[in-house]
Structure 1
Amino acid sequence: MEDCKPTIPVVEGEENVITATQNFVRALETNGNLTASMRKILEDLNTQLSTMNVQSESKQGIGKIEKQLSSVEEKITRWESDHSMIWESLPEVASEYLQAVDEVRKLAECLGELSLAGDENVKELLRRTYGVLQIAMARLEEEFSYILSQNKQSFEPEHMSFRSCEDELVHDFSGISIEYEQEESVQRDSSSRVSEDSLIDLVHPNVIPDLKCIANVMIASSYDQECCQAYISTRKEALDECLFLLEVEKMSIEEVMRMDWGSLNVVIKKWLRAMKTFTKVYLPSEKQLCEQIFGEISSVSSFCFVETSKPSILQLLSFGEAIAIGPLSPEKLFRILDMYEVLSDLLPHIDDLFLDEVGSSIKIEYHEVLKRLGDCVVGTYSEFENAVGSNQSTAPFAGGGIHHLTKYVMNYIKFLIDYSDALNFLLQSHNGEGSVSLLPNHNSFHEKNEGESSSYCVTPIAHRLRSVTVTLESNLKIKSTLYKDSALQHFFLMNNIHYMVQKVKGSELRAFFGDDWIRQHNWKFQQEAMNYERSTWSSVLVLLRDDGINQGSNSATRTVLKERFKSFNVAFDEVYKNQTGWLIHDLQLREDLRISGSLKVIQAYRTFLGRHASQLDGDRHIERYIKYTADDLQNYLLHFFEGSQKSLHNSWRR
C-alpha cells in the first residue's frame, strides 16, 4: 500500500463516484494508526480527486455557458433582418435587448478567464461570443446615432433677442477722403447680450436615459471608441447646423482677405454675434449634454465634448486670424476692436469649458488669435495716425469750411474712447515696440497739473488722442497755405479749430483732453477769428476814416469823398462776392462773426455817411457813389458765410 497510489476510474455519473471516494479518503485520514507514508498517499489521492472534481464542474459549466450564449445570440441576431429601430419599439423590447447584450458581455468575461487554461473548445466558444458582441455593438452604435439625430432640438438664435445684423448701424470710416458727419447714427455693436447661464436642451430630455444606458453598455464592453465616434460624428453635424443658422460661412483665410470692406464689415458683425452665442449658449449646452450621457466617465465626456466642438471653434477662430493678418486700414479699427473685446470677454468662458488637458490645444489657439488681434489693433491705430499726418491736398478746400480730414479725425477719436479700456491695455502692452510710446505713470487714470482747475486722463490712449490732434493741426496749417487770400487762410483755421473744440467740449473726449486744452484751443480759434477780421476789413475801414478830407464843400473835398465812396463800394462788393461763398456750419459762430463784422463796418460806415453825405448833396449822380445805406449793408452782411456765392453788381438802389 505504501508503494502504490490508488486510482479511481471515471465512469458515467463520475461526479458521484468522485465525491464518494473523497469522503472515503477523508475517513481514512482520521485513522490514527496510519504511517507517514500512508498519510502521504492519501493526501496525494485527495488532491487528484479535487482536480478531477473541478474539471467535471468546468465541463458542466461550459455546457451551461454555451446554452446561455445560444439563447442571447438568438435575441440579438434576430434584429439583423429587422430594419426597424429597436428604440422605436416598446420600452420593454429595448430593455430586453440591452439585457441580452449585457449577458453576452459577461459571458465573454467568463470565457476569457477560462481560456487561459488553453482549452480549444473554450477558445472557440469565446470567439463565437465576441462575434455576437460585435454584432450587438454595431447595432447599438447605429441606434445611438439615430436617437441623437432624431431627437435633436432646433436651435433658434432669434429666441436670444438678437437684432438683425442688417438692421444695425455701423461705423463707416471708409477713408480720409470721405466726409463723415453722421455722428448720431453711429453706434457700437451691442448685439447678442446673452446671459451666462442660458443653457438649452440640444437633445430632447426624454431620450437622455436611453442614450446613457447605451453608452454605459458600450463602454463597459470596451467599445468606448465606437460610442464616442458615433456621438462626435452626429453632434458635429448639429454644430455645423448651428453655425449655419448663425450665418457663419466656411471661408478660407485667402477668401476673407480678398473681400471688399463693405462685405467684410457685414461678415464681421455676424461673426461677433455668432461668437457670443456659440460660446455662451451653445458650447455650455453641448458640454451639459456630454455630461448627461457620459457623466459617469469624465474622461470620455471631456474627449467627446472637445472633439465635437473643436472644428466649429477653429472655424470661428480662423476668421479672426484672417482679419488679424490682413492689410492694416484705419476704417477696420472699430470692428477689429469689437472682435478683440468679444474674444477677451469670452476668454473666461473658454477656459472654464476646456479645463482638461484634452482641450488645451483649443485654448492655445484661442489665446494666440486674441494676441494677434491685439497686435492688429495697435498696428491699425498707428496706421490711422500715419494717415492723418500724410494726408495731402493739392487744391484749397472750397469755402474755407470744415475739412473732411478734421471731421474724420474728430469723429474717429470720439468713437475710439468707447474702447479706451482695451486700447489702454494694448498700448501699454506694446510700450517700446514700434512707434508705440506711453506717458509715465500711465496706470493713473487722472492727473491734475499745478495751476489747473480740472483733471484729465493721462492713460496711454489719452496721450495718443491728444497727439493725433497735434498732427491734425499741423496738417491743417499746411492746407491753409493753399489759399491765396490771407483772410481765407485764417477763416479756414478758425472754422476747423472751432469744430475741434466743440467736439471735445460736447462729448466724453473732454475727460481725455482736459479743460486746459479747451482753453488753449478756444484762444487759438479766437486769434484766427481776429486775424480773419483784420485781413478782411482793415483795407475797407481805412476808406471810412476822415484823414485827408476837409470839412467843407469845395470841389476838391467832393472829389475825395466820391473816390472814397466808390472805393468803399468796390471793396465791400468784393468782400460780399467772396465771403457769401465762404461757409460756417456752426450757426452760433456764423452769427457771432456777422455781428462782429457789423459792429466794425456798419458803425464806421454810418458815422462816415452821416458826417459827409451832405457834402455831396445836389450831385447829379450821387447814387453812383453812395450806393448803400447802413441798413443795406446790415442786410447784406446776413448773406455772409452761407456757402452760396452772390454778387452786388447791378444791384444799386434806384
Structure 2
Amino acid sequence: MEDGESTATDHEVQNHLAAAAKHIMMALKACRNLTDDTKKVLSDLNSCLPNKLILGEYGGWLLIDSEEQIKHYGEVIMRWETELGMIWDHGDTEASSYLNAVTEIQKIVKTIGSHPMLLSNGKQKELSLRAHHILQRAMSKLKQELMHILIQHKQCFAPEYMSFRSHVEDAVYDESFISVEEDVIESLSSGDDSGSSSDKCLVNLIHPKAISSIKSIASVMFASEDDKEFCRSFVNIRKDALEEYLAILRMEQLTMEDTLKMDQNALSCEGKKWVWALRIIIRVYLRSERCLCDQILGEFGRVSPNRIFIEIAGSAMWQFINFGEAIAMGTPQPERLFLVLDMYEVLADLMLDIDSLFNEETGSRIGIEFHELLSRLADYAKGSFSEFRNCVVSDRPRKPFSSGIHRFTNYTMNYLKTLITYRETLNFLLHDLEADGLDCSPEPENGEEISSYVSCPLAQHARLLASLLQENLENRSKFLKGEPMQHIFLMNNINYMVQKIKDSELRQYFGDEWIRRLIGNLHRHANDYIRTTWSSALLLLKDHVELDVSPFHRPSHRSRCNKFIAAFEEIYKSQTGWVVPDSQLREDLHISTSQKVIQAYRGFIGRNFAQIGDQYIRYNGDELENLVLDFFEGSTRSLGSSRRR
C-alpha cells in the first residue's frame, strides 16, 4: 500500500512540474529581456529538472535565452574580425573578455551537442550553426594570436652565454673562426646532470609574462578540440626560432654534397662552428625548449610534450647529424684529425644530454643516429692517426731544402704536441690500434717507477712517431750535398725535437731517458760534423812525427799554414751561409769548433812560429776565433768582406 502511495505521489509531482514548466514557457515568451538574477534562477532550475522533462514536451524552453547569449558573445568575438591589431596587444582585460566570450560560446555548443533532440527545432538548429561558425572564427583568431605572441615574446640568449674552446694550440688546420670568451661552459659536463647544473643551462626562450597567455589560448583551443591546430602553429613558430638561432651561430644549411665538396679551410671553419653550436644547442637551447614544451603542454593529456619537442628539434638535429656523417664518410686525412677529435669529444660529452632529450620512442631514432655518428667519428680519427704515421714514414722531399729546420719537422712536432691535448680521448681510441715497431715504455733506471704517462697508449705511439721522424730525417738528409751539411741539418732538426719535447707536456710522455737518448744522438752528429768538416784541415796542423811522413815529402810549415788558411776560408765561405736557428746550439758549435780547430791552430803556430815567419801568418788565433762566430748566420760571406771582431 505504501509503494502505491509513493508512486501516486511521484506522479502528482511530475504533473505539478509540467504545469509549472508551462507557466514558465508562457512567461518567457512574454518577456524578451531577462535579468541576470532571473537567468541564474532558471539555470539552477535547469540543473534540477529530470532529463525526460528537458527532452520532452517542455525541453525547448532551456534555450530560449541562447539567442541572446550568442548575439552578445558573438559580438565580442566578431568585433576583432574587423578591428585592426591583436587582442593581447590591447591588454589583459580585452584578452580576458575575449576568452570568456569564447568559453561561453563553447558551453552553448556543448549543451546543444549533448541534446541532439533539441536540433529538431528549426530555430534551435539555426542557433547551433551560428554558434559553431562564431566558434570556428574564434579558433582561427586565437591561432593568429598564438603565433603573434610566440613571435613577439621570443627571446634569444647571446652566443657568449657559452663558449667554444679548442684544444689546438699549434694548429694544423684553419683557426679563422673567432671563439668567444670562456664562460659557464667550463662548469658544465655531461656527467653532471644534477639540478644545479641543469638550472645553469636553462634560459627563457619565451618571455615569462607571455606563458600564461599562451596557456590560456591552449586551454580554450584544446576545449574546442582544436589541439592539432594549436600544436601545428606552436611547432612551426618554434622551429623557425631554432633555425634563426642556428643562423645567429653561423650554422649554414648544408647538404652532404655541399660538405663533401668543401676545401680543407672551409670544412675546418664549418666544423668548428658545428662543435661550438652543437654544445650550445644541446646543453642550453634544447633543454630550455623541452622545458618550454612541458610548461605549455604538460597539463593536456591528449598531447605529448615530448612529441611536440621532437617535431621542433628534429630537422636541426638532422642538420648536425648529416654534417658529421659527411665528415666521417670521407677518406681519413691527417689534416682533419683534430677537427674530428673536437667533434668526437663534444659529441661524447653530450651523449647523456642527447639521450635525455631524445629518450622516448618518437625521438629514439635521433639518439641512435648520434650514437652511430660517434662510432664513425672514432673510426675516422683512428684512420687519420694511422695515415699520419704513414705520412711520417713515407714523406719524401718534393723541392730543395736548406740545412735549417725542415717544415716537415715543424709540422710533425707541432702535430705531436697537439695530440697530447687530446690525451684522454686518444688513450681510449688508440688502446687497440696496432702499431708495428711500437716503442714500448723505457726501462726504469735505478729502481725508479715508470710514470703512467710514459706507459699509456698515446705515449707509446708518440715515441714511435718521433722515432719514425728521426728515420725520415736521416733519409731526407741524404739529399743534401756533403756530409757536413747533412750533420748540420740533422742537428738542427733533432735539437728542434728536443726543445719541443722538453718545453711542453710531451716531456712527461716521452720520459727523461728517451730525451737523453735523443740528446745523445744530437751530440753524435755534432762530433761527426767536426770530423767531416775539419779532419783534412786539421791533418795539416799535425806534427810530422804524428803523420809519419817521409822527410823527402814533408811540406814546409809555411806551406801547411797557407793550406790550412785556404781550407778555413773555403769552409768559412760556405758555412756562413748555413743556418743554425737555435742560438744555444749555434754557440755550442762555435765553442766546439774553437776547442777542436782554433786550439790546434794556436798550437801549430806557437810551435812553428820561427819557421813560418810573422809576415806569412795571415790570422792569429784570436782572429780566427772571431771568424768562427760568423758561421751558421745564414748569410754567405767571404773573408775579404767579413766583419773583424
Fold conserved (TM > 0.5)? yes
The verdict on how the C-alpha distance between 1:301 and 1:199 changes in structure 2, with shifts beyond 3 A counting, is same
Q: How does 1:299-338 map to 2 (within 5 A)?
A: 299-338=303-342
Q: Indicate conservation of the 8 Å contact 1:295/1:301, yes or no.
A: yes
The verdict on how the C-alpha distance between 1:294 and 1:436 changes in structure 2, with shifts beyond 3 A counting, is farther
Structure 1 counterpart of 2:90, which letter? S
Residue number in structure 2 paired with 1:150: 152
Superposed displacement of residue 152, structure 1: 2.1
Please state whether the residue corresponding to 2:327 is helix, strand or coil.
helix
Between 571-580 and 295-304, the greater mean CA deviation after superposition: 295-304
Between 586-595 and 484-493, the greater mean CA deviation after superposition: 484-493
| 2:503 is aligned with 1:506 | yes
Residue number in structure 2 paired with 1:247: 250
Q: How does 1:422-441 map to 2 (within 5 A)?
A: 422-428=425-431, 431=432
| 2:231 is aligned with 1:221 | no
Residue number in structure 2 paired with 1:485: 482
Superposed displacement of residue 270, structure 1: 3.1
Taking structure 1 as the reference length, what is the TM-score of the superposition? 0.79
- Distance in 2, Cα, partners of 1:134 & 1:581: 91
The two structures, once aligned, show a CA RMSD in angstroms of 3.7
Residue number in structure 2 paired with 1:231: 234
Between 141-150 and 102-111, the greater mean CA deviation after superposition: 102-111
Taking structure 2 as the reference length, what is the TM-score of the superposition? 0.80
Q: Deviations over 1:446-465 (max 9, x none)?
A: 99747563534322222221
State the number of aligned residues. 582
- Distance in 2, Cα, partners of 1:394 & 1:208: 66
- Distance in 2, Cα, partners of 1:394 & 1:566: 42
The verdict on how the C-alpha distance between 1:575 and 1:214 changes in structure 2, with shifts beyond 3 A counting, is same
Q: How does 1:150-189 map to 2 (within 5 A)?
A: 150-158=152-160, 160=161, 171-173=170-172
Q: Deviations over 1:217-254 (max 9, x none)?
A: 21222111110111111122222221222222222222
- Distance in 1, Cα, partners of 2:429 & 2:373: 14
Structure 2 counterpart of 1:471, which letter? L
- Distance in 2, Cα, partners of 1:289 & 1:117: 43
Given candidates 278, 291, 294, the residue that maps to 1:291 is 294
Q: Deviations over 1:603-644 (max 9, x none)?
A: 2111111111202348xxx42xx3221112111111112222
Structure 2 counterpart of 1:311, which letter? S
- Distance in 2, Cα, partners of 1:486 & 1:362: 62
Please state whether the residue corresponding to 1:79 is helix, strand or coil.
helix
- Distance in 2, Cα, partners of 1:487 & 1:80: 94
Structure 2 counterpart of 1:644, which letter? S
Residue number in structure 2 paired with 1:115: 116
Q: Indicate conservation of the 8 Å contact 1:199/1:282, yes or no.
A: yes
- Distance in 1, Cα, partners of 2:417 & 2:498: 12
Residue number in structure 1 paired with 2:193: none
The verdict on how the C-alpha distance between 1:547 and 1:479 changes in structure 2, with shifts beyond 3 A counting, is same
Q: Indicate conservation of the 8 Å contact 2:413/2:500, yes or no.
A: yes
Given candidates 543, 564, 570, the residue that maps to 2:566 is 570
Q: Indicate conservation of the 8 Å contact 2:108/2:131, yes or no.
A: yes
Residue number in structure 2 paired with 1:586: 582
Superposed displacement of residue 307, structure 1: 1.6
| 2:206 is aligned with 1:203 | yes
Given candidates 262, 267, 279, the residue that maps to 1:276 is 279
Structure 2 counterpart of 1:284, which letter? R
The verdict on how the C-alpha distance between 1:436 and 1:214 changes in structure 2, with shifts beyond 3 A counting, is farther
Q: Indicate conservation of the 8 Å contact 2:60/2:118, yes or no.
A: no
Superposed displacement of residue 413, structure 1: 0.6
Superposed displacement of residue 53, structure 1: 7.8
Between 629-638 and 363-372, the greater mean CA deviation after superposition: 363-372
| 2:470 is aligned with 1:466 | no
Structure 2 counterpart of 1:383, which letter? E
Q: How does 1:248-263 map to 2 (within 5 A)?
A: 248-263=251-266
Q: Indicate conservation of the 8 Å contact 1:395/1:482, yes or no.
A: no
Structure 2 counterpart of 1:504, which letter? I
| 2:613 is aligned with 1:645 | no
Q: Indicate conservation of the 8 Å contact 1:330/1:384, yes or no.
A: yes
Q: Indicate conservation of the 8 Å contact 2:427/2:456, yes or no.
A: yes
Q: How does 1:327-366 map to 2 (within 5 A)?
A: 327-366=331-370
Q: Indicate conservation of the 8 Å contact 1:18/1:53, yes or no.
A: no
- Distance in 2, Cα, partners of 1:350 & 1:198: 14
Superposed displacement of residue 54, structure 1: 5.3
Please state whether the residue corresponding to 1:215 is helix, strand or coil.
helix
Structure 1 counterpart of 2:311, which letter? E
Given candidates 601, 622, 637, the residue that maps to 1:605 is 601
Please state whether the residue corresponding to 2:528 is helix, strand or coil.
helix
Residue number in structure 1 paired with 2:137: 135
Residue number in structure 2 paired with 1:38: none
Structure 1 counterpart of 2:294, which letter? E
Q: Deviations over 1:114-143 (max 9, x none)?
A: 238995867776555443332221111111
The verdict on how the C-alpha distance between 1:106 and 1:436 changes in structure 2, with shifts beyond 3 A counting, is farther
Structure 2 counterpart of 1:335, which letter? L
The verdict on how the C-alpha distance between 1:75 and 1:186 changes in structure 2, with shifts beyond 3 A counting, is closer
| 2:424 is aligned with 1:421 | yes
Q: How does 1:362-373 map to 2 (within 5 A)?
A: 362-373=366-377
The verdict on how the C-alpha distance between 1:53 and 1:563 changes in structure 2, with shifts beyond 3 A counting, is closer
Residue number in structure 1 paired with 2:627: 636
Residue number in structure 1 paired with 2:473: 476
| 2:194 is aligned with 1:194 | no
Structure 1 counterpart of 2:322, which letter? S
Structure 1: stretches of 5+ with no match in the other structure? 1-13, 21-48, 176-184
Please state whether the residue corresponding to 1:584 is helix, strand or coil.
coil
Between 107-116 and 472-481, the greater mean CA deviation after superposition: 107-116
Q: What percent identity do the matched residue pairs reach?
A: 41
- Distance in 2, Cα, partners of 1:549 & 1:380: 59
Residue number in structure 2 paired with 1:496: 493
- Distance in 2, Cα, partners of 1:162 & 1:301: 29
- Distance in 2, Cα, partners of 1:253 & 1:186: 23
- Distance in 2, Cα, partners of 1:155 & 1:533: 66
Structure 2 counterpart of 1:412, which letter? Y
- Distance in 1, Cα, partners of 2:445 & 2:621: 51
Superposed displacement of residue 144, structure 1: 1.0
Structure 2 counterpart of 1:419, which letter? Y
- Distance in 1, Cα, partners of 2:573 & 2:51: 130
Residue number in structure 1 paired with 2:60: 59
Superposed displacement of residue 507, structure 1: 1.1
Residue number in structure 1 paired with 2:381: 377
| 2:387 is aligned with 1:391 | no
- Distance in 2, Cα, partners of 1:285 & 1:605: 82
The verdict on how the C-alpha distance between 1:17 and 1:637 changes in structure 2, with shifts beyond 3 A counting, is closer
Please state whether the residue corresponding to 1:84 is helix, strand or coil.
coil
Superposed displacement of residue 169, structure 1: 9.2
Residue number in structure 2 paired with 1:25: none
Structure 1 counterpart of 2:341, which letter? L
The verdict on how the C-alpha distance between 1:162 and 1:77 changes in structure 2, with shifts beyond 3 A counting, is same
Q: Deviations over 1:567-606 (max 9, x none)?
A: 2122222222222222222211111121111111122111
Structure 2 counterpart of 1:508, which letter? E
Residue number in structure 2 paired with 1:561: 557
The verdict on how the C-alpha distance between 1:94 and 1:526 changes in structure 2, with shifts beyond 3 A counting, is same
Superposed displacement of residue 651, structure 1: 7.8
Q: Deviations over 1:40-89 (max 9, x none)?
A: xxxxxxxxx99678513533335555664455444433433333322223
Residue number in structure 2 paired with 1:95: 96
Structure 2: stretches of 5+ with no match in the other structure? 1-13, 21-49, 186-196
The verdict on how the C-alpha distance between 1:150 and 1:226 changes in structure 2, with shifts beyond 3 A counting, is same
Residue number in structure 2 paired with 1:4: none
**Larger Rg, first or second structure (1 or 2):** 1
- Distance in 2, Cα, partners of 1:51 & 1:449: 101
- Distance in 2, Cα, partners of 1:188 & 1:53: 75
- Distance in 2, Cα, partners of 1:52 & 1:295: 41
Structure 2 counterpart of 1:220, which letter? A
Please state whether the residue corresponding to 2:184 is helix, strand or coil.
coil
Residue number in structure 2 paired with 1:11: none
- Distance in 2, Cα, partners of 1:383 & 1:129: 74
- Distance in 2, Cα, partners of 1:74 & 1:385: 80
The verdict on how the C-alpha distance between 1:352 and 1:116 changes in structure 2, with shifts beyond 3 A counting, is farther
